[in-house]
Amino acid sequence: MRLPALLLSLCASVAFAQYNPLAGHNAPAASESVKVERRAKDGTVSFDTEQRPVNVKRDSYGNAAGAQYDLAVDGAFDGQTVLVVDLYRQDFSLAAAAIKTKGFSVVRYQNVPPLEEFEKALSKSNQFWIIASCDDAVYLSKAHQMAVKKFFDAGHGVYLWGDNDPCNADADSLAQMLIDARVKGNLPGDQVVSRSDGPGKPGVVREHLLSTGVENVYEGVTVATVKPAGKMTPVIYGSAGNLVAAAFESNGKRLLVDGGFTRLSYKWDSAGTNRYIMNAAAWLANYERFGNDVVADSFKKATGKKQ
């Protein structure tokens, strides 16, 4: 029996073996056991232990340092594949290395493969990412788009990456077809934003699985704006207050729409990118729908649940 879909993005206290204990918290807290002396009125001395907060080690951008603050445990999704169609053809090696840390393999095309080959690749994949080209053309045919829709409707994660006009045609076309969202526009970015204080306030969403361990994140060089559909959660607001990335989660389906694909390579070592990319792949794996079907054997045993 499969696990039921859970609104885990709103309930970080629900724990699964493939997620780290602090999943869903931007600013993780740590504590240590301290031996405390207790002295009674009669002079008797006893000792007890109590938990006291300690400072979490942080990187140079203010994010918690260490894999234990990522959403997923390293290797959790061993055996699962992320299929990428990268029409912009930027350096994807660092993003691929980050994704692989969590166990995923990466299959990357730099052109749209023939339909039969594309459908076969989708059938072997856990999730699909497309990075749009930098012109006005939509390269995915209607048949390719319908293959993505079928994949998405079956609950498999989809990540649509665009950037400043005109670098968003395929992402925009799929976003519109799948969930009636859009990704368009051209705004200056190149800033690090911290935690958002609400709609239109620059920063990353608070207390969501996607923002686990991310208090500060680089927005991208120049960025497009996501015009969300009804059931989307803001993920990153840019320095201009525009919505750079948003998440869709409904009826067991998950999708991300993003207007800043330059951060997949440009200033990769800036704030939060590496962790955010790992978190995104783990979230799109959709454990909450598929249960142990998408995690490694060691994590299946750790859950103690039978499918």
What are the pLDDT digits (tens) for 27-47?
887 766 777 778 888 888 888
pLDDT value, residue 32: 66
Task: Specify whether the CB–CB gap between 177 and 133 falls below 8 A.
Answer: no
Residue 193 within a domain: yes
Q: Is residue 2 part of a domain?
A: no
Residue-averaged pLDDT of the chain? 91
- Is residue 161 within 8 Å of 132, Cβ to Cβ? yes
Structural domain range at position 136 = 67-292
Structure tokens at 161: 């990456």
Residue 3 lies in a domain: no
Q: What residues does 52 pair with on adjacent strands?
A: 32
Which pLDDT value is given to residue 48? 81
Q: Which residue has the higher pLDDT, 306 or 134?
A: 134
Whether the Cβ atoms of residue 272 and residue 262 lie closer than 8 Å to each other: no
Assigned domain for 230 exists: yes
Looking at residue 1, its pLDDT comes to 33
User: Are 261 and 269 contacting, i.e. CB atoms less than 8 angstroms apart?
Assistant: no
- Give the model's pLDDT for residue 266: 95
Total number of domains in the chain: 1
Domain assignment present for residue 192? The answer is yes
Mind giving me the DSSP string for the chain?
Answer: -PPPP--GGG-TT---TTB-TTTT-SS--EEEEEEEEEE-TTS-EEEEEEEEEEPPPB-TTSSBPSGGGSSB-TTTTTT-EEEEEESS----HHHHHHHHHTT-EEEEESSPPPHHHHHHHHHT-SEEEEE--SSS---S-HHHHHHHHHHHHTT-EEEEE--STTTTHHHHHHHHHHHS-EEEEEEE---EE-B--STTSSEEPSS-GGGTT-S-EE--SEEEEEE--TTEEEEEE-TTS-EEEEEEEETTEEEEEES-GGGGTTTTTSSSHHHHHHHHHHHHT-HHHHGGGGS-HHHHHHHT---
Percent of the chain scored above 90 by pLDDT? 80
CA distances 210 to 144, 173, 223, 224, Å, are: 28, 24, 20, 20
pTM confidence score: 0.89
Nearest by Cα to 131 from 300, 303, 239, 277: 277
Q: Averaged over 302-306, what is the pLDDT? A: 63
Return the pLDDT at 159.
98
Distance CA 169, CA 174 (A): 9
- Give the tens place of pLDDT for each residue, 154-206: 999 999 999 999 999 999 999 999 999 999 999 999 999 999 999 999 999 99
Q: Which of 182-186, 284-288, 295-299 has the lowest mean pLDDT?
A: 295-299
* Domain CATH code at residue 262: 3.40.50.880
> Is 1 a member of any domain?
no
| pLDDT at res. 6 | 38
Q: Is residue 12 assigned to a domain?
A: no
Task: Kindly state whether residue 234 falls inside one of the protein's structural domains.
Answer: yes
300 or 255: which carries more pLDDT confidence? 255
